[in-house]
């Protein structure tokens, strides 16, 4: 496998996230960056979408998944999104960054980043 990647950056999703009682009753913004290992050779050589990783479908699946659940930790969001992408799209490796910009008032952002492979 080559070291090619497909990136989805700045995917903003509003969902229920947090461990405190007050957070369990509101929606908050998460920002996801996804880096998915994918061999782009055939798509590049043939200019054919059939060889591409369908990033629109990945986006829809991830958005629907995160919006439809309640999470305590951004670490859990990262783990579940990574497994979802690996299982549903056959991606051999994925790096997931989950940011929660409102977590610390005096910080611009708080995030976790993980990499998972089959």
The share of the chain scoring above pLDDT 70, in percent, equals 98
Contact by Cβ (8 Å): 31, 18: no
107: domain CATH number? 3.30.1130.10
Q: Which of 24, 67, 97, 100 is catalytic?
A: 100
User: Which pLDDT score is estimated for 108?
Assistant: 95
Radius of gyration for the alpha carbons in the chain, expressed in angstroms and rounded: 15
User: Which pLDDT score is estimated for 3?
Assistant: 86
Residues 6+ apart with CB under 8 A from 106: none
> Is 100 among the residues known to form the active site?
yes
What is this structure's pTM? 0.94
User: Which pLDDT score is estimated for 107?
Assistant: 95
User: Which pLDDT score is estimated for 34?
Assistant: 98
Is 60 exceeded by the pLDDT of residue 29? yes
The share of the chain scoring above pLDDT 90, in percent, equals 96
Task: Say how many domains are in the chain.
Answer: 1
Helix (H, G, I), strand (E, B) or coil at 93: strand
**Which residues span the domain enclosing 78?**
5-117
């Amino acid at each position: 496998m080559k070291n090619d990647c497909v990136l989805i950056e700045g995917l903003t999703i509003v969902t229920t996230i947090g461990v405190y009682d007050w957070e369990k009753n509101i929606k908050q913004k998460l920002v996801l960056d996804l880096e998915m290992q994918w061999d782009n050779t055939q798509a590049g050589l043939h200019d054919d979408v059939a060889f591409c990783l369908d990033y629109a479908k990945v986006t829809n699946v991830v958005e629907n998944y995160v919006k439809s659940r309640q999470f305590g930790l951004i670490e859990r969001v990262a783990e579940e999104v990574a497994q979802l992408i690996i299982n549903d799209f056959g991606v051999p490796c994925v790096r997931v960054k989950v940011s929660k910009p409102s977590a610390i008032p005096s910080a611009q952002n708080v995030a976790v980043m993980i990499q998972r492979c089959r």
